[in-house]
Amino acid sequence: MMETAPPSWAMLSYLVSGVCFILALRGLSSPATSRRGNRFGMAGMALAVMTTLLLKAPVPAGDFLPQPTQADLVTLGQILAAIGFGGGIGFVTARKIKMTDMPQLVAAFHSLVGMAAVLVGWAAYLNPEAFGIAGADGIIHAQSRVEMGLGIAIGATTFSGSIIAFLKLAGKMSGSPIMIPARHVINLGTLLGIIGLVGYFTQDQGLWVIAVVTALSFLIGFLLIIPIGGADMPVVVSMLNSYSGWAAAAMGFTLHNTAMIITGALVGSSGAILSYIMCKAMNRSFLSVIAGGFGAAPEAGGGAAREQRPWKRGSAEDAAFLLKEAENVIIIPGYGMAVAQAQHVLREMGDQLKKHGVNVKYAIHPVAGRMPGHMNVLLAEANVPYDEVFELEDINGEFAQADVAFIIGANDVVNPAAKTDKSSPIYGMPVFDVDKAKTVMFIKRSMGGVGYAGVDNDVFYMDQTMMLLADAKKMVEDIIKALAH
């Protein structure tokens, strides 16, 4: 049987929720409006869920609902219990999660969206009459099979890929690329197999077809993400975000749910655009990211070369003196700041410097951290004023006038090899021109470490560079104490 069209009030309600989601994306485009964007998103989702529940509520037929009974009370109770259970887990997780763990939390959420798409697709396959996607003979409509096959394929790919991303981001497995022999041939063959089977599914709805599509899709998610290095993780997170959106949109067609189609399309398209922006910020193509390899271990001999080059070490007292005497200071945070949870003490240091009449600005690279906007989120958590935070293209020209470039936990995004060394894996990636600052202060744990790109950084050895070797949070705390004297 075919489902009757939703009543006009439901379509209007879904439209309003879609507008809320658009306003949410608009608000999330800036830290200053992100709270408002989140509120719009929550309001839109609440409206969409309430509308769907009302459509299935066990009430008599009339102008409000087209059929006398959509769901019994037991089923409705189960749905509400599931919402309460899942919402409770989400609420507790959001309250307890550390901001430094946000990238892996986002990856975990993407995996749940992917698995939800897989489960919905299989539920529709096993009981097509309940979804209104089959004829009287029980044969699923061809267009519904395409929607179902694509939804399951994209959802399964999103799930397994997000699990690998979560493990890499959480440090449960190596962040370096894991190269599988003949991976390009295997990946291409698997993708072509999935596409071919989805097409064949329109002719044969046998269980084996959809089962193989599901298995291959789980496999390709694993194969696509396992060779991608940590330096490409911002692109991976935004890419998986896009996948989860398209999976939701495909399932929206299966469920005849306008809100899911709108929401999925918004998430899918915005994630794709964000992936493009991330790739552009790294001067890499999307295909090169998928191919993997960026973030490999440094070449043999790289460590010896670093040991032979002279560098200058400074103390917290030295740094405090120079910072206090400066007029313009630009702070460049990176993943090391996130790991050390130094964002709060960094903001305190900035406040101290402003009391001494120093002009303080924060420079954020688009791919700093492990997800898009990672550094913005951390600085916002520490209540750093929005008007002091600048993107790469807005502040890069100011380093020539800066007295101090203060680098805390960043590496690849300040490496001049991206501009000068054509053999470098980061060549062409836009980076901060910290080498133009009068003084460079570089906080890192030791001289032995390199960034996720696995290449040495000439900034360490410049005449105007002072290396501050310590835990980022501890070093900033010591600088704050020295500034107070």
pLDDT digits (tens, 9 = 90+) for 119-140: 999 999 998 887 878 877 778 8
Position 63 pLDDT exceeds 80: no
Position 2 pLDDT exceeds 70: no
Give the pLDDT band of residue 407 (cuts 50, 70, 90).
very high
pLDDT digits (tens, 9 = 90+) for 155-181: 999 999 999 988 888 878 876 677 788
For this structure, is 412 an active site residue? yes
The Cα-based distances of 116 to 153, 154, 379 in angstroms read 12, 11, 33
pLDDT for the residue 319: 93
pLDDT digits (tens, 9 = 90+) for 323-342: 999 999 999 998 889 888 89
pLDDT for the residue 449: 60
Q: For the chain, count helices (H), then strands (E).
A: 19, 6
pLDDT > 90: percent of the chain:
39
4 or 448, which is more confident: 448
Position 294 pLDDT exceeds 70: no
Position 70 pLDDT exceeds 90: no
Residue 472 near residue 340 (C-beta atoms within 8 A) = yes
Residue 415 near residue 452 (C-beta atoms within 8 A) = no
Burial of 63 (0-12, 13-18, 19+ CB in 10 A): exposed
pLDDT for the residue 380: 85
Question: Among the ranges 9-13, 291-295, 366-370, which has the highest mean pLDDT value?
Answer: 9-13
DSSP label of 72: -
The 3-state DSSP composition of the chain as helix, strand, coil percent (nearest 5) reads 65, 5, 30
Please tell me the pTM assigned to this model.
Answer: 0.78
DSSP label of 173: S
Q: From the candidates 412, 435, 456, 478, which is the catalytic residue?
A: 412
d(CA 41, CA 262): 13
Q: What is the 3-state secondary structure (H, E, C) of 112-125?
A: HHHHHHHHHHHHHH
pLDDT digits (tens, 9 = 90+) for 302-315: 333 445 678 899 99
Burial of 382 (0-12, 13-18, 19+ CB in 10 A): middle
Residue 307 token pair: 């040991």
Q: Which of 76-85, 92-101, 253-262, 474-483 has the lowest mean pLDDT?
A: 92-101
386 or 361, which is more confident: 361
Give the pLDDT band of residue 298 (cuts 50, 70, 90).
very low
